[in-house]
């Protein structure tokens, strides 16, 4: 049942009488539940489910201990209704616990009910979730996963401010919510939280088997192109076993590498796979005269792509001779559908990441600052993919290219957007949006057809391509590491093991002597892009696979740093042969701040023409000031361009011809004898010559 339909079953009121809310401040969650008859079945289950396969401690005992737990407690009626769904699925004959004849299946169902209902916030009270602190955008995730390591999402009903749902259709009671206990909060729910947790392949196959409209066209194309096997991947079971057996170590002794006293770099618990599919709906295809059930769908869709020029010219070259071989990556339909997929599962609230962009204040997340964008390489044939959101766009778009106020004294905002550059809106709050039921995938409907056309490629080349360094690694998004909204140490410092221990990241290779840490820095007032950073210490050697350029041409590759005395010196290598990368310029020293002697830096003045001359002088030294688009928690007078002590600088690594059909690599290698210095990365930029060397319209400072 869709969220909209479920919401209609519940009444809505502007004012809720909260005088009868239960308050048990002197009891644990376990003792509170034991005294409420409405939770008697749930309380019984808590005592029957162990916290892990290797422990006899039950979840009921856990709920009696100190901590910061959020408990979505289902009522007896909710559990009975859930048992009825198991009858409908032919798992049991009658809606009762005695109907289970298989003890393994019984234990599994008990665990589903219990583990999905509890979030363990660890030692941090900030990881305790009252409804007042829930995310405000529909389909956004709570920051910490439940005991199954699955993220719960939150939904609201328009004009019903007190109606809150977990995972679309599990209603939180309007009175019995936010019940405080010594060790957390209890929220009464009227439906068991039990996401199906099927794979993307299973979900799409079910659409095909039952001919369910909504995404039937997308499912038929994905199947024809041979992508189903890939979409079955959920997690790396080899890594899982190594981690559980203690063979994936944490990074102990970080203090000796310049981190705060007692810091530990925690290795990820899992190595999950993920995908995000952006799909035209079947309703759209019907508007184009294409029947989703038509036996000739593939032929007609191919012709529609040709007639509407939903391709780039080079795509036809690869398609020639492969017209009927849909599984061939060069096939036109294969190229078209794979551009609808990203190789990472991106939740709604991370399609773009808002943190410290110009004009944005984290305490008021509904009020956006300047536009924010992310660039990724698509699934299949690697092509550049842009996600974008601004206050003016009123939502996230794919490949939107607006007109912005990017003058030196401008405000960076979107001014307007030409009709042919609007792009595709991602419908994050649609009845067809799927973010819960598929374990390894999110599916978002879009409001316009999506394709990597010549126009899209041209527009991508006309803009600066700035991407956070950690965005190069889909594993960081898939495993809920990137910008996790949590302050506990395990989420702040994440240690990525060297390739010899386990090759955790496909697009980043680390040598044995590299100690690599992703510093999440959640809620920090840093002038880094998105207030996170990557650090490498030891005698490191790191190689990154870069995203593709949109067009063949001359580009600058830039590397942005915040220099200080803890940093080190690294030799940069760049090229398209990962086994033989040429040196790019002299070693990069990021220990010292920029000044006039080594960069030509001068602080900005009131004379904008003079400021432009200073920028040119710096570029002659292969350096640039930081960007104006980043600031500290809305403080627009202190941007990365004007940062104190001139610590932030962009290094121009290379200027050379690059080709979209080639894959390029960046390698950084320590040149110091010391293994205590760190090498820091924030973001990289790919910028076409038409931008950085444009005599009519110089590159903006944003």
pLDDT digit string (tens) for 520-565?
988 888 888 898 999 998 899 999 999 999 999 999 999 999 888 7
Which of 302-316, 480-494, 596-610, 617-631 shows the lowest mean pLDDT across its residues? Answer: 596-610
Is residue 114 within 8 A of residue 105, CB to CB? The reply is no
Is residue 395 within 8 A of residue 351, CB to CB? The reply is no
pLDDT over 50 (residue 397): yes
For position 14, what pLDDT does the model report?
36
pLDDT over 50 (residue 512): yes
For position 25, what pLDDT does the model report?
57
Q: Which two tokens stand for residue 528?
A: 């880094």
For position 125, what pLDDT does the model report?
81
Cα 404 from Cα 240, distance rounded (Å): 46
Taking residues 69-82, report their average pLDDT: 97
465-692: CATH architecture:
Sandwich (2.60)
Strands 153-157 and 160-166 come out as antiparallel
Question: C-alpha angle with apex 247: 242 to 249, nearest 5 degrees?
Answer: 120
pLDDT over 50 (residue 19): no
Percentage of the chain surpassing pLDDT 90? 79
Where do the H-state alpha helices sit in 66-213? 76-88, 103-115, 200-210
Quick one: which of 391, 395, 394, 417 has its CA closest to 404? 417
For position 16, what pLDDT does the model report?
37
pLDDT digit string (tens) for 662-702?
999 999 999 988 788 888 889 999 999 999 999 999 999 99
Calculate the alpha carbon distances from 470 to 64, 517, 702 in Å: 39, 11, 21
Q: Residue 637 — pLDDT band, cuts 50, 70, 90?
A: confident
Which of 60-74, 135-149, 279-293 shows the lowest mean pLDDT across its residues? Answer: 135-149
For position 645, what pLDDT does the model report?
64
The domain limits of the chain are 3-189, 200-261+270-339, 342-461, 465-692
Quick one: which of 506, 571, 566 has its CA closest to 540? 571
Percentage of the chain surpassing pLDDT 70? 96
Calculate the alpha carbon distances from 68 to 35, 124, 127, 130, 216 in Å: 21, 7, 7, 11, 43
Q: Residue 458 — pLDDT band, cuts 50, 70, 90?
A: very high
For position 672, what pLDDT does the model report?
85
For position 232, what pLDDT does the model report?
98
Cα 521 from Cα 482, distance rounded (Å): 10
- Mapped onto helix, strand or coil, the DSSP state of residue 10 is coil
3-189 — its CATH code? 2.30.180.10
CA quadruple 173, 175, 179, 185: dihedral sign: positive
Question: C-alpha angle with apex 573: 571 to 576, nearest 5 degrees?
Answer: 170
β-pair partners for 583: 573
pLDDT over 70 (residue 167): yes
Helix (H) or strand (E) holding 7: helix 3-7
Is residue 384 within 8 A of residue 375, CB to CB? The reply is yes
Is residue 357 within 8 A of residue 702, CB to CB? The reply is no
For position 1, what pLDDT does the model report?
38
Strands 395-398 and 403-404 come out as unpaired
Quick one: which of 283, 371, 342, 631 has its CA closest to 471? 342
Q: Which two tokens stand for residue 292?
A: 């989703």
627 CB burial (10 A radius; 0-12, 13-18, 19+): buried
Helix (H) or strand (E) holding 307: helix 297-307
Q: Residue 18 — pLDDT band, cuts 50, 70, 90?
A: very low
Quick one: which of 654, 645, 640 has its CA closest to 687? 654
- CB-based contacts of 293, cutoff 8 Å, min separation 6: 211, 216
CA quadruple 79, 80, 83, 85: dihedral sign: negative
Cα 462 from Cα 240, distance rounded (Å): 43
Taking residues 129-156, report their average pLDDT: 92
Cα 120 from Cα 118, distance rounded (Å): 6
pLDDT digit string (tens) for 263-274?
899 999 999 999
Q: Residue 566 — pLDDT band, cuts 50, 70, 90?
A: confident
pLDDT over 50 (residue 21): no
């Amino acid at each position: 049942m869709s969220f909209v339909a479920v919401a209609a079953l519940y009444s809505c009121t502007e004012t809720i009488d909260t005088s009868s809310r239960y308050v048990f401040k002197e009891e644990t969650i376990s003792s509170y539940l034991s005294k409420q008859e409405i939770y008697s079945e749930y309380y019984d289950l808590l005592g029957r489910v162990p916290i892990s396969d290797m422990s006899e401690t039950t979840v009921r005992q856990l709920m009696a201990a100190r901590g910061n737990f959020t408990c979505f407690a289902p009522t007896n009626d909710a559990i009975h209704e859930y048992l009825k769904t198991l009858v409908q699925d032919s798992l049991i004959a009658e809606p009762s616990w005695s109907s289970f004849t298989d003890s393994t299946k019984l234990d599994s169902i008990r665990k589903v009910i219990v583990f999905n209902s509890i979030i363990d916030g660890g030692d941090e009270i900030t990881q305790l979730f009252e409804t007042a602190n829930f995310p405000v955008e529909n389909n956004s995730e709570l920051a910490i996963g439940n005991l199954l390591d699955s993220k719960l999402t939150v939904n609201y009903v328009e004009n019903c401010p007190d109606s809150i749902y977990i995972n679309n259709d599990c209603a939180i009671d309007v009175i019995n919510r936010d019940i405080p206990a010594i060790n957390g909060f209890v929220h009464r729910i009227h439906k068991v939280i039990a996401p199906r947790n099927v794979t993307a392949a299973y979900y799409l196959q079910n659409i095909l088997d039952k001919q369910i409209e909504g995404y039937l066209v997308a499912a038929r194309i994905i199947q024809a192109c041979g992508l189903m096997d890939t979409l079955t991947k959920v997690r790396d079971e080899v890594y899982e076993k190594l981690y559980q057996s203690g063979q994936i170590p944490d990074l102990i002794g970080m203090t000796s590498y310049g981190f705060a006293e007692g810091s530990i770099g925690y290795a990820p618990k899992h190595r999950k796979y993920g995908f995000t599919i952006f799909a035209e709906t079947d309703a759209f295809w019907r508007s184009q005269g294409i029947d989703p059930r038509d036996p000739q769908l593939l032929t007609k869709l191919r012709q529609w792509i040709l007639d509407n020029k939903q391709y780039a010219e080079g795509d036809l070259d690869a398609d020639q001779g492969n017209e009927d071989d849909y599984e061939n990556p060069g096939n036109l339909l294969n190229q078209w559908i794979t551009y609808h997929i990203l190789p990472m599962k991106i939740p709604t609230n991370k399609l773009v990441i808002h943190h410290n962009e110009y004009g944005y204040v984290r305490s008021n997340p509904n009020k956006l600052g300047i536009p924010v964008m992310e660039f990724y390489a698509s699934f299949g044939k690697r092509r550049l993919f842009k996600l974008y959101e601004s206050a003016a766009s009123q939502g996230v778009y794919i490949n939107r290219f607006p007109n912005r106020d990017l003058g030196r004294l401008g405000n960076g905002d979107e001014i307007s957007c030409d009709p042919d550059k609007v792009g595709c809106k991602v419908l994050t709050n649609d009845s067809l949006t799927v973010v819960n039921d598929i374990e390894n995938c999110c599916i978002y409907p879009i409001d316009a057809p999506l394709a990597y056309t010549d126009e899209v490629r041209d527009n991508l080349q006309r803009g600066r391509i700035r991407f956070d360094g950690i965005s190069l690694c889909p594993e960081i998004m898939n495993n809920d590491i990137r910008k996790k909204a949590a302050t506990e140490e395990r989420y702040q410092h994440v240690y990525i093991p060297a390739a010899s221990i386990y090759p955790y990241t496909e697009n980043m290779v680390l040598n044995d002597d590299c100690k690599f840490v992703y510093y999440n820095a959640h809620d920090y007032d840093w002038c880094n892009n998105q207030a996170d950073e990557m650090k490498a210490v030891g005698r490191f050697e790191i190689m990154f696979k870069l995203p593709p350029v949109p067009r063949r041409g001359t580009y600058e590759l830039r590397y942005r740093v915040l220099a200080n005395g803890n940093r080190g010196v690294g030799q940069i290598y760049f090229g398209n042969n990962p086994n033989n990368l040429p040196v790019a310029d002299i070693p990069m020293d990021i220990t010292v701040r920029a000044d006039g002697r080594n960069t030509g830096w001068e602080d900005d003045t009131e004379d904008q023409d003079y400021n432009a001359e200073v920028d040119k002088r710096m570029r002659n030294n292969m350096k640039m000031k930081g960007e104006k688009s980043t600031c500290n928690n809305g403080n627009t007078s202190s941007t990365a361009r004007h940062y104190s002590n001139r610590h932030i600088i962009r290094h121009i690594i290379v200027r050379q011809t690059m080709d979209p059909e080639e894959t390029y690599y960046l390698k950084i290698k320590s040149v110091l004898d010391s293994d205590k210095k760190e090498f820091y990365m924030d973001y990289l930029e790919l910028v076409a010559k038409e931008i950085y060397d444009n005599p009519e319209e110089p590159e903006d400072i944003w």
